[in-house]
Every structure is written in structure tokens, then in C-alpha cells.
Structure 1
Amino acid sequence: MQSSSKLFPVALISAEFRGDLSEDLYRLKPGNSPDSTVELVATRLGLADHEQHRGAPVILLHGSFSNRRFWYSPKCIGLGPYLARAGFDVWIVEMRGHGLSPRNQRYKYNRVSDYARYDLPAITQFVYEQNPQPVHWLGHSLGGTTLAAALGGRYLDESMIASVALFGSQISRNYWPLKIPPLVWGAKVLLKRFNVLSGSRLKRGPEDESMGVILEALRWYGLFGRFGDAQDDWWAGLAQVQLPLFVVSAQGDEQDPPWACQKLFDQFASINKTFLCLSKQQGFSSDFGHVEMLVSKAAQVEVWPLIEQWLNRGHSDAGEPSMRPEDNMVAATAMQPKLST
């Protein structure tokens, strides 16, 4: 089978129409990491009647215990379809062993370090090859943290990136039990007996998460932990990143609280950057939660249009877009089918 890329083997495994949208599924085998069995599936969404015209590319990266359905429901509802209908070239990536991406041979040992150093650069290069315009990266929760790691480690070619948006992502929250070495040692001994943590059993999401990612997070939040790996200090590296940045937090997010998201925002050197907290105090209908910030009827009306507005900016100056949700309700209702109950 002929590869869809000159960079590395890529197979177009499906091409379908989903109502007014086209859906193409690509299986990437970058072969750039120590585990040569890694394969990643990327879903491309576009307007069915505009196949020859591709707008600015946007890559959506899910968080832990999740998959592409966070952005794109079977009924073609979600931020992914919304942005595709707004004219963007939307790519939804599923990380190793999540969703349609198969589990690699060393799945148990997968880490954010691997995602950031090997997978995100390959994804960026492939999307840029398919649509040679600088890409917009959007990440939720661990997806945003992974983006921060890739940027702080200088693994991504910034000339290929137009902007970065992080939603509910942080690395500064204090977990006091993880500051007590004997408790951490005991937790590691117990966790190493398992290959994965089950998202469904923990009621955290539909997917499992590899034990390597869990143990890596324990190290970050430990007594002498830092955001990085044995080779690179990602936190320090963020102080060199100049890309346009949009960071969104939610007042009702107990997992990744606004103050911690703000700290990650402040670490970036970007001059052109915007921080937003979704709260009643800021004029939103409620204090949004960790998931509701992007997946809810309220997000459809109040948040998605702000994301579209950010992506449509020229990013040539440091001025902030209007962040008043009431300015966007009419446009959102007109562009997106209503969410089902």
C-alpha cells in the first residue's frame, strides 16, 4: 500500500462522509522512538463540499483516560465538528493505546516524555506536510501538559506552529501525600504490579492509562520533583517559548484549579498570550468544571466561539480578544447543531 506521507509510513484506513462533514482516518507509524511498534491514529475533519479547500490546520489533543470522542461525538457534535464547520482543517489525534491507536509493545512504560519527544513532533510534521500552514495546537488536561512538555523540551519546530491553547492544564498543584517519601515509595511498589489504571473503574474516563504515565506524574509532584525528565528541564524551557498562547481555566475545576493553570501561563515567555477563567465572576453562566469547560451545552454557546475567535486572530500583536460570552451566543447557535440531551 502506498504511504500517504513522504516522512514515514502513513496509511489512509478510512474515508467517509458524516453528514455535512468528511472524516479521514490516518494511521501513522513514525518509527522515531525506541519502541518501533508505536502507531498513532489521526482523524481529519473537514466540510464534505469543500474537500479541495483546507483552512488553517488545528490539532486537538485529548487528556488522560480519554480519546477522540472528547472532541467529536458519533453524532458529529463537539469542538472538532464545530471548528470544521467554521472552516478549519481539524485533526484529532489519539495517543498511544487510546481509542483507535493500538497499544504498542511497551505500552506499560509509555510516558508523557515519549509523547512529547517523539509523537507530537511527528504529528506536527505530518499535518504540516498535508497542509503546509503553521498549525494551531489545542490540548485539554494531560494533553495540554504534554504540549507544554514538548514546547519546554524544544522538541517541536516552532516555525510550524501558529499558536498553542491549553485547557485545564497545570503542573503546580500540591498533593501533600506525595511529599512524604515513604508513602510515595509504597505507592510505587504497589502500582508497578499493574500495567494500567482503568479509567472506567476509577470513573475518570473511557480509556485505560499506562502505568508509565502515572509513575511519571508521581515524580513530578514528589518532594524534589520537577516538570521534566532525566534529560531536560521542561519548566525552565518554557521561559524561552514565544508562541502565541491561550490558557483557559475553570473556576469549578478541582482537579486543575485556576491558580495552578495561571502559574503555567506565567512561565511562558510569550508576549502575545491570554489567560481566561470560566466563572460567574467573569460573566459566564456558571463556574465551569474540568470537563464542562469544553463538553457541555454551555461550552457550546459560551466557550467554543471564543476558541474560534482566538484561532481567527492574526496573532500579530499582543491585544486580547473580547472574552465576553454574551457577544458570542448568537454566532454559536447559528453555526452548530444543538447538543442532544
Structure 2
Amino acid sequence: MQSESLFIEKENYQLHLKRFYTTENAPSVFLVHGSIEDGKIFYSKSGKGFAPFLAENGFDVFVADLRGRGKSKPHPSRENNFGMASAFEEDIPDFIAKIKSITGKEPDHWVSHSWGGVHLMAYLAKNEAPNLKSMVFFGSKRDIRVRNFKKLLIVDLLWFGFCTFLAKTKGYLPARQYKIGSSDEAKDYFLEVNKWVRSREWKDLRDGFDYADALQTKAVPPILSITGANDMQIGHPVDCKRLLKEIGDQDNFTFKVIGKKQGYKHDYDHINLLTHRDAKADHFREVLEWLKSI
């Protein structure tokens, strides 16, 4: 397996795209991470993770570092601020164009973790993707309505409370410093994500464009959405399943909970659904077979 770092140079920033592949001219997969994290949710320094796993099994894999995350520079700061729409109106189109320049076509499959799924669907609501064959969501939801103690502690008190205070006072969210995430977040991006998470309607914060309504009128490709049985707050099964309903609940949508009760080795949570050492032999293989069947 080979890997390389690709960079997209813009006027005031640089985007990073990590590629893993064994052979060229293979089906291509585009992976997008969620909030307060970067592309390394899909791979490790030692070459483990979902992205290398796909490459080892015949896919040409491209992992994004959205603006300011990972090796995309500069990182968020009081001086480097940007909004959420930068991800699906600028970064994702630039990544797709870069992939097309390498492979000769837009990516065949899209994969996301957590909020990355919202970015991809927001992009799809306003753009055509004629080459797109399927999508895979790992713990992706658009809003959070579940009620339990972990949600109260992590989402309401930590995320909406303490993290909002940090973002407003420091001019960005220093998630790495406070060990609440692997990547810092721009202030406007963070605050705008919060508005969507809390809203019953999925509308643009600038002009009111209704993303859910637009997606319900489109022929969305097959989606496999999975989440961990122990994900009680960030990607609770109830919230993840509702995202599929919000975008049309088509017959080609498949939803699965990954836990012991469902026959898997562990009750996975929001992060180790992708990072657990047993994931490769447990549910990664199942996702691989689903992708190959499309």
C-alpha cells in the first residue's frame, strides 16, 4: 500500500488531502471527518484504520482535512476565523476537483464520520454528483434530541456551555488544549454547528435555504448508516436514524447499530467505532462488502 499527502493551495490557506492506494484506476472513496477532529479519525501513523483498510482491499482512498484541521493550515485562531459553510461550499468542492484531477472522475463513494455527513449532504443538496454510487455514515446525525445523563453532561453542559464560553472569549475553540477534541475549531464554525444541532429545521443560516427539502426531492444514492450501541450522546441511534428520515428515508437507505446485542464483539462508542483494534475484523469487513456490492 502507498500513501501520500496532497495539498491544495488557496489564496489565504492550504488544504490537505491524504491518499492511500495499492493500485491506480481503482474505485475511489472520499472520506470527511466531523467537528473538533481531523482526517486522522480514519487512519493512524502506523497505517491502521478504515482508510488504509479500504486501500488494502482495492479502493483508491482520499481523506480530507477540512480547513484549519490536521495538516490544513493555518489552524483556527482569533485571527483565523471562518464559518461552517466554508466546508461544504468551498472545501468539499475543492477536494472533489483535486480527486478528479488525479483519477479522471469524481469519487465513486463518500464516507463520513459524525458531522462530516452533514457537510456532505449539504453539498449534495445544492450540487449534482453524477458519479456518486453510495455513501457511508459513521455516527452521523444532524440534530440531537435524545435525553439522557451523558447527553446532559457532554452536549448540554460541556459543548453548549463550557465550549461556547471558550469560543467566545478566546476567539476560537482550543479543543486540543482542553483535551476535548483532536482539532481546534474556528469560532463562527463552532457556533453555527451548534445552531443546526439545536434546530428542528435544517435551513441555511444566511438565506433560509431548506437542505432537507432539497434532498427529499433528489434521488440520493444508497446510504449505509451505522452507529455504536454505546454512543449515548453524539451519535445516538435515535438521532442518527432521524437524519435518514430528514433526507427522504428512501428504500436504499440501511441503518445498523453496532453492539453486542446485534452480534458484534463490543458496544462501540462515537470514536472507537472507527478506532477500536477489533473494528477491522468486526464491522469494517461488513462495510467493505456493502461498498463492493453497490
Q: Give your verdict on TM over 0.5.
A: yes
CA distance in 2, matches of 1:40, 1:257: 31
- SS of the aligned residue for 2:117 comes to helix
Equivalent residue number for residue 91 of structure 2: 119
RMSD across aligned positions (CA): 2.7
Say which SS state the counterpart of residue 67 (structure 2) adopts.
coil
Q: Secondary structure at the match of 2:85?
A: helix
**Corresponding residue of 1:23:** 3
- What is the letter of the counterpart of residue 259 of structure 1? V
What TM-score comes out, normalization by structure 1 length? 0.73
- What is the alpha-carbon distance in structure 1 between the residues aligned to residue 75 and residue 103 of structure 2? 28
1:37 aligns with one of 7, 12, 15: 12
Out of 127, 136, 145, the residue aligned to residue 174 of structure 1 is: 145
SS of the counterpart of 1:216?
A: helix
Using a 3 Å threshold, how does the CA distance of structure 1 residues 105 and 213 change in structure 2: closer, same or farther? closer
TM-score, length basis structure 2: 0.84
Mapped pair 1:262 → 2:234: no
- 1:227 positional shift: 4.5
- Asked if 1:303 is matched to 2:283, the reply is yes
Q: Which residue of 2 aligns with 1:131?
A: 103
- Distance across 1 between alignment mates of 2:199 and 2:76: 32
Indicate whether 1:146 and 2:119 are aligned: yes
Equivalent residue runs for 1:231-250 within 5 Å? 231=207, 232-241=209-218, 242-250=220-228
Partners of 2:239 and 2:168 in 1: CA distance: 28
Give the whole-Å Cα distance in 1 for the aligned partners of 2:184 and 2:163.
18
Between the aligned partners of 2:88 and 2:213, the Cα distance in structure 1 is 15
Could you tell me which runs of 5 or more consecutive residues in structure 2 were left unpaired when the two chains were aligned. Answer: none
* Aligned match of 1:5: none
Provide the residue aligned with 2:185 in structure 1.
Answer: 209
Q: How far does residue 189 in structure 1 lie from its aligned partner after superposition?
A: 7.7
% identical equivalent positions: 24
Higher relative contact order, chain-length normalized (CA < 8 Å, sep 6+): 2
Q: Give the counterpart letter for 2:224 in structure 1.
A: F
Using the TM superposition, name which of 274-283 and 84-93 deviates more. 274-283
- Kept in 1, the 8 Å contact 2:136–2:225? The answer is yes
* 1:58 corresponds to: 29
Q: What secondary structure sits across from 2:130 in the alignment? A: helix
Aligned to 1:276: 256
Residue 12 of structure 1 is matched in structure 2 by none
The size of the alignment, in residue pairs, is 278
Q: Is residue 199 from structure 1 mapped to residue 155 from structure 2 by the alignment?
A: no
Over 3 Å counting, the alpha-carbon distance change for 1:209 and 1:188 in structure 2 is closer
Matched residues in 1 for 2:8 and 2:237: separation?
35
- Whether the aligned pair in 2 keeps the contact of 1:136 and 1:162 (CA below 8 Å) is yes
Q: Which residue of 2 aligns with 1:230?
A: 206
Partner-residue secondary structure (3-state), 1:144: helix
Residues 38 and 105 of structure 1 are in contact (CA less than 8 Å); yes or no, is this contact kept in structure 2? no
Whether 1:92 and 2:69 are equivalent positions in the alignment is no
What is the alpha-carbon distance in structure 1 between the residues aligned to residue 261 and residue 190 of structure 2? 34
Change (3 A) 1:158 1:306: same
For 2:130, the aligned partner's letter is S
2:76/2:184 contact within 8 Å kept: no
Whose Rg is larger? Answer: 1
